Structure 1
Amino acid sequence: MMDSNDSETMAVVKTRLASTASLPGSKPSSRERNVKQAEKLKQNAHNPKQNREHNKTMNNQAQDDADIACCGRCSQTCNDGDRCIQCALCDTWYHARCEKIDDSTYEVLKKDGERPCPLIHFYCSNMCNNAASKFLGNFMKVEKEIKEMKAEVNQVVTQVKSIESGEFTEEMKTTIRDIARVEREAGETPDSKCDVAEIEERLKRKQNLIFFNIDESSAAEAKDRIEEDSKNILKVLEKIDVENCVDFEPPTRLGKKGEAPRPLKIRFNSSEACSRILKSASKLKGTKIYISRDMTPLERREWKELLEERNRKRQEALEKGIEANWVIRRGKVVNAARGERQPIKGHADSK
């Protein structure tokens, strides 16, 4: 328990502490500072305008601090009156003296930098200069290689177009002749398909198609007959429903005129058009008209041999009671029947 003297002593101490805290020059306690800050925030919360002005002031101060550029070499401020230049790669500012740029060079860079699209770029000596030089060197090297590749591609395209049109370069002809000569020296019979003239002739005919059983015109004038043949060809193309295949040269009748209509040879603008027409030619089934490729004499002999082989195998399959479907594909006779070969029902050999 405290006596009366102790109580008086404590009262004096509290009074002195209170008076000391209220002195103008005394340092406020942490508790008082927190209380004042809370009161200020509370006042700002009830005064939105004052709160916005306070935030705007703080943001402006932060922006001003961020806008102050420092030299990437000496770390000193780059003021408006200083001769400073910005790296085009890392965007860091440098004093011209720190980068050892003389006045005349600086003026050239400054004047060029005023262009909408500067032609001269500055790269700092820290790392960007070496990196930019290496990058630009590699870029120019790649650009050169791309130009060379484009030239080679254009050359290949030109050669392909020449081959499609039936034109061979002297180098190609020499290569084919060398192949035939090596085969003769080896005691082998040169393949007639490798003959330069045969290859050229086949390529020339790739854009041709032969239309059979198209009625001939009885017009007296040749131009009238050609015009009527062209109209008949357009009707056939419309019937088989092919697109972008209506461009062709004036048709030509093959052979001497007789009782039956002579075949019509048509040259189209591309071999792709011929391929599309042949794929749709099956739509002519049930009519007397049919379409064929324009084959060379050698191709016609080969085709005749393939037909004979196909018919022979079909006859053998029929005699043996084997279910098969022998067809000509890619220059060969193949069995297109699905599943295993089985005896035909009703045949004498079937069980």
Structure 2
Amino acid sequence: MPLKQDTPFKATLKASGSKVLTPISNEDLMGALKDFKKEMLTSNKALSELQDKQCRYVKKLIFSRQKVARLESNNSEELPKTVVIEALQEIFEREKCQSNLIFYGVSDLSSGIASERVAHDKLTVQNILQSLGDSVPQNPKLIRIGKARADTPRPIKAIFDNKQSAMHLLSAYNTARRSGCSFPDGFRIVSDKTNLQRKLLRECHLELVRRTNEGEPGLRILFENGLPKVGKILSKNGGPQLRIRS
């Protein structure tokens, strides 16, 4: 029986090792479709589990205690949409912040000429960080943030090409500081933070001051699953080691 021109073929091996083309039967096609369907279901299940994990993490990321109370009072049908919008915004902002660092304690030039202020900031930062050598990325974008004050220099936001450059510089700075390297009084480098991260930290600092003033000893700001909390340092047998913020 002659074969149609669009009949699919598959290659099979003869005993001699040579290949020969044979028509693909309906059973072969159905078997291939079943295998494909099975792989798709397995892939979708894995993707769904990953999305569930990300969703659980995002909820921890987004909700402070006050926000949970507010959202729980809303219509339950509106809650998922609110969570998704805030989560996406927070994830986007955090991704941007990872390529930035904040410099404190860099003298602020009071010149009315913008180009002079920019040149001053660039040169001053280079001089402060010269002991770090090759760890300092070339030509980061420096932006003063906040309103000018006579008693305190404004912080500088340093924007780098990628987050690896920012992380490498911050690590080199912390290592140098721990090893006794001298930096100007008041100078420090910290990672950039989103509005939500700063809000949660402010709340933790207020809680730390309040509980300390009430006589509770040994309190610190700790980080657990990326979220700040006020607590005590656990002993080796008392649970997992949490990252401490001074």
- Normalized against structure 2, the TM-score is what? 0.52
Q: Pairwise mapping of residues 200-211 of structure 1 onto structure 2 (< 5 A)?
A: 200-211=92-103
Q: Pairwise mapping of residues 24-103 of structure 1 onto structure 2 (< 5 A)?
A: none
Give the RMSD, CA atoms, in angstroms. 4.1
- Mapped pair 1:335 → 2:229: no
Q: Which residue of 2 aligns with 1:300?
A: 198
Matches of 1:289 and 1:249 in 2, distance apart? Answer: 18
Matches of 1:215 and 1:311 in 2, distance apart? Answer: 30
Structure 1 residue 214: deviation in Å? Answer: 0.6
Choose from 271, 278, 283 the match for 2:163: 271
Matches of 1:191 and 1:185 in 2, distance apart? Answer: 11
Matches of 1:193 and 1:243 in 2, distance apart? Answer: 40
Residues 208, 219 of structure 2: 8 Å contact kept? no
Structure 1 residue 304: deviation in Å? Answer: 0.8
Structure 1 residues 258 and 237, CA gap change in structure 2 (3 angstroms): same
Structure 1 residues 216 and 332, CA gap change in structure 2 (3 angstroms): closer
Structure 1 residue 207: deviation in Å? Answer: 1.0
Matches of 2:109 and 2:184 in 1, distance apart? Answer: 23
Structure 1 residue 313: deviation in Å? Answer: 5.4
- CA deviations on 1:109-130 (whole Å, 9 max, x unpaired) are xxxxxxxxxxxxxxxxx96x51
Matches of 2:212 and 2:237 in 1, distance apart? Answer: 16
Q: Matched residue pairs, number? A: 167
Residues 249, 266 of structure 1: 8 Å contact kept? yes
When you count helix as a share of all residues, which structure comes out higher? 1
Structure 1 residue 266: deviation in Å? Answer: 1.0
The one-letter code of the counterpart of 1:326 is: R
Q: Which residue of 2 aligns with 1:255?
A: 146
Q: Which has the higher contact order (CA 8 A, sep 6+)?
A: 2
Q: Which residue of 1 aligns with 2:108?
A: 216
Structure 1 residue 264: deviation in Å? Answer: 1.0
Structure 1 residue 295: deviation in Å? Answer: 2.0
Structure 1 residue 243: deviation in Å? Answer: 3.4
Matches of 2:201 and 2:227 in 1, distance apart? Answer: 8
Matches of 1:249 and 1:274 in 2, distance apart? Answer: 10
SS of residue matched to 2:222? strand
Choose from 14, 17, 39 the match for 1:130: 17
Matches of 1:288 and 1:309 in 2, distance apart? Answer: 25
Residues 204, 221 of structure 2: 8 Å contact kept? no
- CA deviations on 1:214-265 (whole Å, 9 max, x unpaired) are 10124453222212211222223334x2634322433111123220211111
Structure 1 residues 337 and 198, CA gap change in structure 2 (3 angstroms): closer
Residues 248, 266 of structure 1: 8 Å contact kept? no
Structure 1 residues 335 and 242, CA gap change in structure 2 (3 angstroms): farther
Q: Which residue of 2 aligns with 1:231?
A: 123
Structure 1 residues 255 and 289, CA gap change in structure 2 (3 angstroms): same
SS of residue matched to 1:327? strand
Structure 1 residue 327: deviation in Å? Answer: 3.5
Residues 105, 187 of structure 2: 8 Å contact kept? yes
Matches of 1:310 and 1:243 in 2, distance apart? Answer: 38
Structure 1 residue 200: deviation in Å? Answer: 1.9
Pick the structure with greater CA Rg: 1
- CA deviations on 1:56-113 (whole Å, 9 max, x unpaired) are xxxxxxxxxxxxxxxxxxxxxxxxxxxxxxxxxxxxxxxxxxxxxxxxxxxxxxxxxx
Matches of 2:81 and 2:220 in 1, distance apart? Answer: 30
The gaps in structure 1 that reach 5 residues or longer are 1-125, 135-171, 342-351
Residues 101, 191 of structure 2: 8 Å contact kept? yes
Counting aligned pairs with the same residue, the percent is: 20
Q: Pairwise mapping of residues 272-291 of structure 1 onto structure 2 (< 5 A)?
A: 272-282=164-174, 283=177, 287-291=185-189
Residues 212, 263 of structure 1: 8 Å contact kept? yes
